[in-house]
Amino acid sequence: MSDSKEVSISIENKIAFITINAPKTLNALNRKIIKEIHQHLYNIKYDNDVRVVIITGAGEKAFVAGANIKEFASFSKKEGQELAQSGHDLLFNKIANFSKPVIAAVNGYALGGGLELAMACHMRVASENAKLGQPEVSLGLIPGYGGTQRLTQLIGKGKAFEMILTGQMISAKEGLSLGLLNYVVSLEELMPKAIEIASKTIENSPAAIKKSIKAINAVFGNIGLQNEVELFGQCFGTDEFKEGTQAFLEKRKPNFK
Ligand code: CAA
């Protein structure tokens, strides 16, 4: 067991539990948290005592409420693009291509980068109180950690357009019916259910699992992700981006002209 400030890891019965704990920002992802998760994944990659990973958020309110808006509100286009690129390189693509199954245990809000984190995982279990959304357009942004690609892959173009263009949240129940979530259970049942799925994968051949992940991922190319990074970067520094992020920080509705 090793702990850092905002992300902890514990290993039990060949399952690594990674927990994000930044209650003041509802577990929003800043660069430090991304690096901490990256480091934990790096440490367990070749550890034979770990066969599955479960990622969750601490508390009962949020899995992850997105990328940290305060951190990037004054970023330039170049910094915005670097933010998305380094997020993919350090975390989101690392998880999607991880050689061991990664399960998201979604215990509350999964918004923006939070839903993108859950979607980069191979499977998603959520508690009934979870709320899912890609609200970036309300900030003058687009999803930048793979949301335009992975949401479309998971739920299809029509519903992905609806979620991304309206920016509205959906319930866990709706997420289940759309195929965005594998299971929805009570908050008490969340970890037991994630562990149940993890345990089933542990019974199987690690080499075959690794190849299955590679083969499934090969259905989808990376061109779309790269395109998203560039478009995400283009949003930064614009008047609409400034209005959207300022409105969030000032706790008011944005006024886009
Ligand atoms: N970044 C930074 N701080 C955040 C945050 C975020 N994404 N989400 C919540 N917080 C902070 C709030 O600013 C607030 O801090 P203060 O107490 O200092 O004011 C604290 O967490 C609690 O949040 P609220 O008071 O807003 O709690 P609420 O219950 O009224 O609302 C919520 C909860 C609906 C999740 C709301 O916090 C919210 O809408 N958060 C932002 C969601 C969002 O827009 N996510 C997308 C981010 S952009 C992104 O992710 C880009 C990308 O794709 C890479």
Residue nearest ligand 1's atom 22 by CA: 25
The answer to whether residues 51 and 203 touch, using CB atoms and an 8 Å cutoff, is no
Q: How does pLDDT run across 101-135, given as a tens digit for each residue?
A: 999 999 999 999 999 999 999 999 999 999 999 99
The finding on whether 144 has its CB within 6 A of some atom of ligand 1 is yes
Q: How does pLDDT run across 193-209, given as a tens digit for each residue?
A: 999 999 999 999 999 99
Number of the ligand 1 atom closest to the C-alpha atom of 113: 50
State the pTM of this model: 0.98
What CATH number is given for 2-202 in this structure? Answer: 3.90.226.10
The catalytic position among 36, 71, 82, 116 is 116
Interatomic CA distance for residues 77 and 83, integer angstroms: 10
Domains of the chain by residue range: 2-202
Q: Is 136 a catalytic residue?
A: yes
Interatomic CA distance for residues 39 and 35, integer angstroms: 6
55 - beta bridge partners?
18, 104
Angular region, 104: left φ>0, alpha ψ -120 to 50, beta rest: beta
The answer to whether residues 103 and 124 touch, using CB atoms and an 8 Å cutoff, is yes
Distance from residue 103's CA to the centre of ligand 1 (Å): 23
The answer to whether residues 56 and 18 touch, using CB atoms and an 8 Å cutoff, is yes
Interatomic CA distance for residues 101 and 55, integer angstroms: 11
Residue nearest ligand 1's atom 30 by CA: 251
The catalytic position among 6, 71, 82, 136 is 136
The finding on whether 111 has its CB within 6 A of some atom of ligand 1 is yes
